[in-house]
A = this chain, B = another copy of it.
């Protein structure tokens, strides 16, 4: 079954609101095996809404329209759907009573405008809204291009109203009426440390797979994901198909894969440390606290992170860690030598298993020819040894900070893998 999504709202076309409903609905539809091939967004304009409905009804088996069901005069979705399907609008006293009760419970006077929300196209079935005033509805509309009819489902645009209405009413409806043959299951394998093209070259063979099992590649800042997707008659069958492909791919990405699905690099590292009863202290210069922030985003991190320092000034490097002023002068604060010493000293003073020191130039100013913006040194001190990497990162100030912490976390992850 193919469903097409239409978002109605001039605020979307003006860019004042980001359409998060499309992503959420697409994910939920994929879970029940419904394909989404097209998503469109259109303004609060009757003829353009009808134009999009006409197109969608010709190429899809069903339409979900979000937005434009509110009480104000620029909410015209119900009217436009009624005109497109050539149905009159019918007044529903029961719906009006529900809306009125809602206002009474909250001790607010109902506006006359809300009466509009009690009208639905003839033969439409109400979708009850437990969170707000706008009811949704399901209508089997006429398709001008096909002889059959496709259902048009209208939902409010407010995500916290739309989501329960979809889950409680629309999903069961689609599962009953849609010709659901299969389910779609996804598993995301997360990697860091190599660019997208290098990962792609390693798994070219699998990227060419055709449904029912496919593999896609997606790059984020400092991370490349491989998404394995399988369609199957049952979740079990789809999961088995994924497991087979995963087993083939795993050896190819062994050195760079840090987790899957909801794992983050910081959650993986923190949980490794907790499991091995190891501890960590960090000292940051150019990343300015982001590394400690990412580590402490993980619940339970207080077990492993004892302290963090943000030594932004040279003086603080000397006062807090005893980095000699002479060394800072001779080699510069952004140098391999200073990074190594920062990592060693924080590990010693905090008495932890690991110490991480980061120093660099996040930009946009402060770079020189010899030490450009994006130059970052990351040192990791263990009881045996201290390592240091030199990175040349690109991007904005915040992107350089992010990539530097990504490298620091991955360095620690690789060190933990050894033991």
State in angstroms the CA–CA spacing of A167 and B419 once bound together.
49
Q: Which B residues are in CB contact (< 8 Å) with A19? A: 18-19, 22-23, 39
Q: Which B residues are in CB contact (< 8 Å) with A221? A: 160
Pairwise interchain contact B396-A160, C-beta atoms closer than 8 A: yes
Pairwise interchain contact A218-B299, C-beta atoms closer than 8 A: no
Asked whether A108 is an interface residue with its Cβ less than 8 Å from the other chain, the reply is: yes
Q: Which B residues are in CB contact (< 8 Å) with A251? A: none
Pairwise interchain contact B11-A16, C-beta atoms closer than 8 A: no
Pairwise interchain contact B297-A401, C-beta atoms closer than 8 A: yes
Given contacts A15-B22, A38-B41, contact A316 B306 (CB under 8 A): yes
A135 to chain B, nearest CB (A): 15
Given contacts A14-B30, A186-B14, A292-B289, contact A41 B40 (CB under 8 A): yes
State in angstroms the CA–CA spacing of A40 and B41 once bound together.
6
Nearest-CB residue, chain B, relative to A44: B216
Q: Which of A295-318 contact B (CB under 8 A)?
A: 295-297, 299-302, 305-313, 315-316
Asked whether A387 is an interface residue with its Cβ less than 8 Å from the other chain, the reply is: no
A59 to chain B, nearest CB (A): 8
Cross-chain contact of A16 among B41, B208, B218 (Cβ < 8 A): B218
Q: Which B residues are in CB contact (< 8 Å) with A38? A: 13, 40-42, 48, 52
Pairwise interchain contact B109-A198, C-beta atoms closer than 8 A: yes
Q: Which of A267-285 contact B (CB under 8 A)?
A: 282, 284
A260 to chain B, nearest CB (A): 14
Q: Which B residues are in CB contact (< 8 Å) with A109? A: 198
Pairwise interchain contact A320-B291, C-beta atoms closer than 8 A: no
State in angstroms the CA–CA spacing of A10 and B229 once bound together.
12
What mask results when residues 332 to 375 of chain A are scored 1 for a CB within 8 Å of chain B, else 0?
00000000000000000110000000000011111000000000
A–B pairs, 30, beta carbons within 8 Å = A11-B218, A13-B37, A13-B39, A14-B36, A14-B184, A14-B186, A15-B24, A19-B23, A22-B41, A39-B41, A40-B41, A70-B219, A73-B208, A74-B207, A113-B201, A160-B395, A284-B289, A288-B297, A289-B296, A293-B293, A299-B364, A300-B365, A301-B312, A302-B312, A306-B316, A307-B311, A308-B309, A308-B312, A309-B310, A316-B350
